[in-house]
Structure 1
Amino acid sequence: MKAGLFICVYGVLFAASFYTYNQFYSNPTVEDAGRLLPAQVKEIAQADGEETLKEIVKQANRTGSRLTIAGMQHSQGGQTYYPGAVMIDMKPFNQVIDFQPEKKVITVQSGATWDDIQKHVNPYGLAVKVMQSQNIFTIGGSLSVNVHGRDIRHESLIDTVQSFRLLKPDGTIIRVSRTENADLFPYVIGGYGLFGIILDVTLSLTDDELYQKNTKEFDYSEYSDYFQKEVKENPAVKMHLARLSVAPSSFLREMYVTDYVTVEDQQLLKDYETLKKERIVALPKFFLGLSRYSGWGKDAFWDIQKQYMLEDNGSYESRNNVMRSETDFMAYESGTKTEVLQEYFLPVNEFADYIDDLRRVLEKEDEFNLLNITIRYVEKSDQAVLSYAKEDMFALVLLINQGRSEEEVKKSKAVIRKMIDVTLDHQGSYYLPYYSYPSKEQLETAYPRIDEFFRKKQQFDPDLRFTNHFYEEYNE
């Protein structure tokens, strides 16, 4: 009798322990760069080959599992995972498949990074046309959010894509281009991994070039006119960026801009074409750290940034190296805080009035810790269904330091919704790869084709094999 009771109790405890193990240990917890949406996934599957990827999709169809797709996971709103889903890590799937330098074309697997491409094409005097300002991201992830960068003579990334292969939710593979399965082209690019797995991509390249940096500072009210006359109408300017002060002493008033102007004697390129590596970052990292905790720190960091850029005025840099911006100094770890991004797009001629309205909102938000605003330019691009550039626009990238508690997230959400309202009032839009602070109404205003996008998703993937936080949050 006692033996039977012991066996029964032991069996119950064993079953409970096994359940606990499966729930809390065999199901890994993942999070993206924003660190605000940790979730337990069913498993992390490694993309170590095309056959493996096909089997992952077929297995998911047999078991009914959901799938998500992850690269470097710098999208910050859970676009790369979902609770209980199988998260596919694409980073091992990173080979260069074909390179035709004479045609300025390269085909790479989607887990390759921009750094991988740059190292491959730089010895041939070639460069990427459009990518982010950093080269650490995967190609598949970049396509899925349809990135843009410092180049002002091309549109967003979709403009440079010749074709890609897509592993569909049913486990079959198709090629997608502007002529093959063309109806999918504007949905998958900028589609946040919801239509299947991008296996490999064929991209158009351009010549590497030598640029001279031209940096100057001025008042924000002069920026639109300067850009229209001195940058956009000058074909020698190939790249451009600006920074707007968040320091208390010059808040949203002072700016500096850097134009990258083509050097006449391109023979000099050979002296600058070696790909640069990260340099010593201790000093900027120190002052960025100070800026997180005090207005004095923000003033000091702004002065140092300006001084450095102005002293570097007139220096030379290759196109490939302009696209290898340093990021190590921005690395940030905290148990209670995180840093999130927002990106707002607005018409060029709206800039000064927009900044005035944005300043009025933010001057009332003492606890909102804005660390940086970088400005780029993106030409009108309506190729993607979820296009963010309704016309020629400035893109303002905001870096925000915030707490991770529920209350602090709520406070950030309230301020960000106010900023988005200001942006929409100025005929602008916002970028989707970040935390899901915006309301459904704001999403529909910024992206009037969002319902069309969701309908296409449901038509193409009726079993909802591919999903993520973004889709589940907004597809109500």
Structure 2
Amino acid sequence: MSVVNDVHSRLNETEVDAVVPVDSLESIGAAIDRARAAGRPVSVAGGRHAMGGQQFCSGGVVLDTRPFDRVLSLDEERGLIEVEAGIQWPALMDALTDTPWAIRQKQTGADDLCIGGAISANVHGRGLTYGPFIADIESLIVLGADGVARTCSRDENADLFRLVCGGYGLFGVVCSATLRLDRRRRVERVVRLAHTHELEELFAQRIDEGFLYGDFQFEIDPASAGFLQHGICSCYRPVADDTPLGADHKLSSADWNRLLHLAHHDKTRAYEVYAEHYLRTSGQVYLSDRHQLATYLPGYHWDGSSEMISELYVPWPLLADFLAEAASDLRALEADVVYGTVRLIERDDESVLAWAREPWACTVINLHVEHTPAGIERAVIAFRRLIDLALERGGSFYLTYHRWATRQQLLTAYPQLSEFLDAKHAHDPGELFQSDWYRWLRAAIELEAAA
């Protein structure tokens, strides 16, 4: 037996039968055959940053795809690259360095994340006019529960394509993906301080001016009037290809460690230091792919605490109202906000379990969680309240993080869940591919309905 956990929250400690590194289609098939013969469920893990238990199944076999990381082909005319699912963002970017092509978007905040996980969670970045990651996928090779490897795209096995993208590994193992690339450009960061009431108009203006990326990082001190209201708006616009990149005013690992300490112990000073840094970098020029890389410091907490994330979606006209009420409620609940940001997302009308059902404002909130029953319960109450605030405004929330949403919250945000679970049973009637997240979801939706 082995014990595994996610990297960020460390709240998903799971005892599994075995962790099996895989590096080929054949090794994946062999591992699945052995698990099936032993009556063990199979889950798939890569960078292990999902926080809802999607990559682990108690008593099951975990396929570790990180060795499965080759670049298979590059079509330089069409801007398509085929990679194995275990490749992580830095290696993918390095493979494109000597070409005119670049990734369109990736998750923010960390880089050691596998492409297979990005597909399974249908992630997004900070593009101003982008939809979720499914829009960047040309095709997939998926090994199903029946042992057959299938090409899945919008034209071939389209139903499976729509299920696998955002399907959290429940419909088979993503073996390879052909990704759509963009031409690499140089972009200039433009920074200003803003209030939430300005954001809808400000981002619309930035989009009209041709900006490609952007976000709004808000104050985190509940004692400040600017808590969740005032923040740093950073957007990136294309500039001429011969524009010098200039000096890169990056924060060092030591700087990030200091900021993390301040975010826990002196939140006002943390925001001041962070805002000063961003304002100092306004006008700096980056490559459109490399500016999406981040510094992530794993294990910066003592064993008894960590951060948990939630991502909430609301219509843009209701964002300021949502954040104002969220600030009031988080103060009342004495929730410990460590970081927060607002981004944009366009509608996803392709994946079955689409989280971006509309063009929404996305609010990401990191809460500090003490790993005690009382500490976890405080986080559960706070996140459920945030979910309610989003749902009251016709919005939704992201499933990739905790397993703390109620059944009613799940069904309100994801009315297609019954369809999703029916498809799971049809494609994998023996439930070979499972996770603790799946077992929780199935119990919440199906078993409670039957009770």
TM-score, normalised with respect to structure 2: 0.94
Counterpart in 2 of 1:32? 6
Pairing partner for 2:367 from 400, 407, 410: 400
2:261 aligned residue: 289
Moved more, 445-454 or 150-159: 150-159
CA contact (8 A) 2:246 2:284 kept: no
What is the correspondence of 1:447-462 to structure 2 with a 5 Å cutoff? 447-462=414-429
Instruction: Note the C-alpha offset of 1:70.
Output: 0.3
Q: Cα deviation per residue 1:387-415 (whole Å; 9 max; x = unaligned)?
A: 11122111111111111112211121111
Residues 1:165 and 2:141 are matched in the alignment = yes
Q: Distance in 2 between matches of 1:135 and 1:408?
A: 29
Q: Is the 8 A contact 1:224 1:352 kept in 2?
A: no
Residue 323 of structure 1 aligns with an amino acid whose one-letter code is Q
CA distance in 2, matches of 1:412, 1:400: 7
- 1:278, distance to aligned residue in structure 2 (A): 7.7
Among 294, 298, 307, the alignment partner of 1:325 is 294
Question: Take 1:238 and 1:179, find their aligned partners in 2: how far apart are those partners?
Answer: 29
AA paired with 1:238? L
| Residue aligning to 1:272 | 245
Higher helix share: 1
CA distance in 1, matches of 2:216, 2:236: 12
Partner of 1:253: 229
Cα pair 1:122 1:208 within 8 Å, conserved: no
**1:45-124 equivalence runs, <5 A:** 45-124=20-99
User: Aligned to 1:433, what secondary structure does the other structure show?
Assistant: coil
User: How far did 1:39 drift?
Assistant: 1.6
How far is the alpha carbon of 1:311 from its aligned partner?
A: 1.3
1:259 aligned counterpart, secondary structure:
strand
Contact 1:273 1:318 in 2 (8 A): no
Query: How far apart, in 2, do the equivalents of 1:129 and 1:303 lie?
Result: 31
CA distance in 2, matches of 1:239, 1:437: 31
Contact kept, 8 Å, 2:3 with 2:13, in 1: the verdict is yes
Match of 1:347 in 2: 315
Q: CA deviation at 1:160?
A: 1.2
CA distance in 1, matches of 2:193, 2:259: 21
CA gap 1:159/1:408 in 2 versus in 1, 3 angstroms: same
The amino acid that maps onto 2:106 is: M
- Matching of residue 302 in structure 1 with residue 271 in structure 2: yes
* 1:267 alignment partner, SS class: coil
Partners of 1:291 and 1:135 in 2: CA distance:
21
Among 129, 147, 164, the alignment partner of 2:104 is 129
Displacement, 1:84? 0.5
| Residue 175 of structure 2 is aligned to residue 199 of structure 1 | yes
Query: Higher mean Cα deviation, 132-141 or 413-422?
Result: 132-141
Residues in 2 aligned to 1:325 and 1:280: alpha-carbon distance in whole angstroms: 11
Cα RMSD over matched residues?
1.7
Task: Find the counterpart in structure 2 of residue 7 from structure 1.
Answer: none
CA contact (8 A) 1:71 1:91 kept: yes
Given that 2:65 and 2:85 are in contact with CA atoms closer than 8 Å, whether structure 1 keeps it comes out as yes
Matched, 1:314 2:286: no
Using the alignment, how far apart are the partners of 1:154 and 1:216 within structure 2?
22
Is the Cα contact below 8 Å between 2:131 and 2:345 reproduced in 1?
A: yes
Q: Distance in 1 between matches of 2:312 and 2:32?
A: 35
Q: Cα deviation per residue 1:127-163 (whole Å; 9 max; x = unaligned)? A: 1112212432100000000011012232111001110
Rounded Cα–Cα distance in structure 1 between residues aligned with 2:31 and 2:327: 49
Structure 2 letter corresponding to 1:30: V
Q: Secondary structure at the match of 1:237?
A: coil
The change in CA–CA distance for 1:284 and 1:114 in structure 2 (over 3 A counts) is closer
Q: Which amino acid aligns with 1:332?
A: Y
The answer to whether structure 1 residue 374 and structure 2 residue 341 are counterparts is: yes
Q: Percent identity?
A: 26
Q: Does 1:178 find its partner at 2:154?
A: yes
Aligned partner letter, 1:356? A
Give, in whole Å, the separation in 2 of the partners of 1:144 and 1:52: 20
Does structure 2 conserve the Cα–Cα contact (< 8 Å) formed by 1:130 and 1:156?
no
Moved over 6 A (4+): none
Once the two structures are overlaid, the 10-residue window that deviates more, 456-465 or 313-322, is 313-322
1:186-219 CA deviation, whole Å, 9 max, x = no partner? 1100000001100000011011101111100122
Q: What SS is found at the alignment partner of 1:195?
A: coil
Is the 8 Å Cα contact of residues 111 and 296 (structure 2) preserved in structure 1? Answer: no
1:63 deviates by 2.3
The number of residues matched between the two structures is: 439
Separation in 2, partners of 1:77, 1:202: 27
Instruction: Assess, with a 3 A threshold, how the Cα gap between structure 1 residues 449 and 279 changes in structure 2: closer, same or farther.
Output: same
SS at match of 2:228: coil
- Between 443-452 and 244-253, the greater mean CA deviation after superposition: 244-253
Q: 2:202 aligns with which of 226, 243, 257?
A: 226
Contact kept? 1:241, 1:259, Cα under 8 Å = yes
Deviation at 1:331, TM superposition (A): 4.9
1:438 aligns with 2:405: yes
Cα 1:99–1:190 shift into 2, 3 Å: same
What is the CA-CA distance between 1:273 and the residue it aligns to? 10
Q: Secondary structure at the match of 1:304?
A: helix
Letter of the 2:227 counterpart: F
- Aligned position for 1:422: 389
Distance 2:249 2:192 in 1: 26
Q: For the residues of structure 1 that align with 2:311 and 2:431, how far apart are their CA atoms?
A: 29
Identify the residue that residue 449 of structure 2 maps to in structure 1. none
Cα pair 1:125 1:208 within 8 Å, conserved = yes
Which ranges of structure 2 fall in alignment gaps of 5 or more residues?
444-451
Amino acid at match of 2:389: V
Rounded Cα–Cα distance in structure 2 between residues aligned with 1:288 and 1:372 = 9
* One-letter amino acid matched to 2:258: F
Corresponding letter in the other structure for 2:330 = L
Amino acid at match of 2:344: Y
Task: Output the amino acid matched with 1:362.
Answer: L
